[in-house]
Amino acid sequence: MNLIGAGLATIGLAGTGVGIGIVFGSFLLAFSRNPSLKGDLFSNTLLGFALTEAIALFALMMAFIILFK
């Protein structure tokens, strides 16, 4: 039963991969439209990446807690 719960908890990792792709794809689109805003765009992109990656770490942490409980 723990293996099923841990497997279900890792579904968030797939969503995180999609989210990171969307963040960097949006950065490339915005940068190609207005290259003069590179610094502001890149700082916002890193913030979005960090927040999206935090969700992946929480999902992985929950999977390990369920698995090794």
What DSSP assignment string belongs to 12-67? HHHHHHHHHHHHHHHHHHHHHH-GGGHHHHHHHHHHHHHHHHHHHHHHHHHHHHHH
**Which structure tokens are listed for 21?**
């792709």
| pLDDT-derived band at 5, boundaries 50, 70, 90 | confident
Give the range among 3-12, 35-44, 45-54 with minimum mean pLDDT. Answer: 3-12
pLDDT in tens, 20-42: 999 999 999 999 999 999 999 99
CATH architecture of 2-67: Up-down Bundle (1.20)
Domain limits, the chain: 2-67
**CA dihedral for 60, 62, 67, 69, sign (positive or negative):** positive
